[in-house]
Structure 1
Amino acid sequence: MNRDVIITCAVTGAGDTVGRSPHVPVTPAQIASDAIAAARAGAAVVHIHVRDPETGSPSRAVELYRETVTLIRDSGVDVVLNLTAGMGGDLVIDAEDPLKPIDGTDLVNALERLPHVEELLPDICTLDCGSLNFGEGNQLYISTPDMLRTGARRVQELGVKPELEIFDTGQLWFATVLVEEGLIDAPALFQLCMGIPYGAPADPGVLAAEVNLLPEGANFASFAIGRDQLPWVAQSVLAGGHARVGLEDNLYLSRGVKATNEQLTERAVEIVQNLGASVATPDRAREILGLKERTGA
């Protein structure tokens, strides 16, 4: 397999994982340190969320992104920065009064999800391409077509590459519409997210179907959560894509063994190389993804 594979490390996410592993980074310094370690281990891209340093809860605070990004950029370690822009889409409803949001709701409009992107101008930011029943209970993730068009247009104006997050096939359908409407610059970048309840299951047949629906010339990566994460590195590469690992999606290196982001990245590197592919450097990743060069960042 003679091609270069981009490895992304998603270092912390927004899930309720802090209490389940001592290795999940919380503070900007911890998140930056993990991102730098993952980059040194072979990740060309690091995907960044931030958390409230006091509680470990997910946050949209620009100052936390600023501190984290500054630490990574000042480290001298070359890595492609991918900031989430998906925060602010959570709606938890009262089953008896569905028009009444309850604790856990963090729902803002499309532009209010982007102030950290506007200030920090990362190489990549995510665009979650549809609404979803997010697991059990009454939690939903809200991302409507009009919200997505507004967000895509603003990200395009900023010159940031959107990573189109796809949690189900209908979202992929709509993302291709964004491409057709000229709101996504070529080459489009898709992240096929598998196994998140209740989105697309982590099934090779589903992945193959989604890959077949991608627009011509698009780049894609794919990941699966939990125990499927590391096997899915091989699955994604064999399907022609790139790969993502990290504590956002999985806490274990093997059964009963808690992982670090560095260890998960090292294991992904081994898998890619054992398949006969090469691990892309950050510069090679920029070339593949068509990223705009930045100066003074």
Structure 2
Amino acid sequence: MKGRPLVVAVSINGERSKSANPHVPIGPDEIVATALSCYDAGASIIHCHNASTALKGQAAADDYLAAWRRIRAERPGALWYPTLTRDGCDDLDHVRIIDEAIGLEFACCDPGSVGFSALDAEGIPMGGYYTNSYEQIRANFAQLAAWKLGPQIAIYEPGYLRTVLAYHAAGTLPQGAVVNLYFGGPYGLSTQASPSFGLPPTRHALLAYLDMLEGTDLPWTVSVWGGDLFRTELPEMAIERGGHLQIGLESHFDPVDKPTNEDQIRAALRLAEQAGRPVADREATLAVWRSPKA
């Protein structure tokens, strides 16, 4: 894979709070400063949340645009994409509004349902489910295809990937689809030890996903949620096998170590240099991820 561009995707904030990591950017001013710093540090593309996933439609779009109009003015064409609302795949109105206002190349799709839990006082998992129906997923893919936006597909569980592969086999997976393999670390989406979700961040877990992807040639990334990607074998394995990295403070959590997004980027760049894979710029990212807007 030497010489093949490596996409370094940085999820800069997510639902994380300052108590989880004081470097998480919150509010337009911090998001602008962090995004620009991350692009300068070498980020290929940024994923960002706004103030609340409870916002919908125009309100959600306006909250994103308060930061991203300024960022795009400083970095015309800089790649980024927003998240979904709490209605998941059933609500993409804010994506359409943002795309019409300043342009997008990618958008989220969560093709399945997953349980999120934490351990109670007795050590028993308790929590709830984040759900997306098959009808919602189908509508989501259809909208993104019509808008020429590449789906950034979250894979929380192997069943999610089976659904994606069915669309791929049917020839209906939108152009620009990227498979983001989410491995569950010891804290999951919490700041407390939890049973997390999905497969653990191990060599064999990644090989299982790669077995499923065999023959598809779909671009893919690795990330560890509620842990530290760089304390696993996954980044080196991904780089060696032609995959890409999804890093940043949305997924990272450690009760003691509190890196910045830029620290994570520098760690990714060191591995890329060692492997001889140049970090992808805008044009390389659009090409490698087969964006319909390339």
TM-score class normalised by the smaller sequence: 0.7 to 0.9
Of Structure 1 and Structure 2, the greater strand share is in 1
Partner of 1:154: 143
Tell me if 1:201 matches 2:200: yes
Which residue among 88, 97, 104 is the counterpart of 1:119? Answer: 97
Q: Report the TM-score, using the length of structure 1 for normalisation.
A: 0.82
Conserved in 2, the CA contact under 8 Å of 1:65 and 1:116?
no
Partner of 1:280: 280
Tell me if 1:129 matches 2:131: no
Range that drifts further, 75-84 or 204-213: 75-84
Specify whether residues 20 and 287 from structure 1 end up closer, same or farther in structure 2 by C-alpha distance, changes over 3 A only.
same
> What whole-Å deviation, never above 9, does each CA across 1:120-169 have from its counterpart, x for those lacking one?
12211111121001123222111121110011111111111101111111
Q: Looking at both structures, which has the greater relative contact order when contacts are Cα pairs under 8 Å and sequence separation is at least 6?
A: 2
Conserved in 2, the CA contact under 8 Å of 1:7 and 1:242?
yes
Partner of 2:63: 64
Matches for 1:78-97 after TM superposition, within 5 Å? 78-85=77-84, 87-88=85-86
Partner of 1:23: 23
Between the aligned partners of 1:202 and 1:109, the Cα distance in structure 2 is 25
Between the aligned partners of 1:140 and 1:29, the Cα distance in structure 2 is 33
Residue aligned with 2:154, SS: strand
Between the aligned partners of 1:77 and 1:223, the Cα distance in structure 2 is 27
Tell me if 1:220 matches 2:198: no
Between the aligned partners of 2:55 and 2:258, the Cα distance in structure 1 is 24
Task: Report the CA distance between 1:72 and its aligned residue.
Answer: 1.7
Range that drifts further, 125-134 or 266-275: 266-275
How many positions carry a matched residue from both structures? 266
Task: Report the CA distance between 1:290 and its aligned residue.
Answer: 1.7
Conserved in 2, the CA contact under 8 Å of 1:39 and 1:78?
no
Q: Report the TM-score, using the length of structure 2 for normalisation.
A: 0.83
Between the aligned partners of 1:169 and 1:139, the Cα distance in structure 2 is 19
Task: Report the CA distance between 1:261 and its aligned residue.
Answer: 1.1
Letter in 2 for 1:11: I
Between the aligned partners of 2:178 and 2:65, the Cα distance in structure 1 is 25
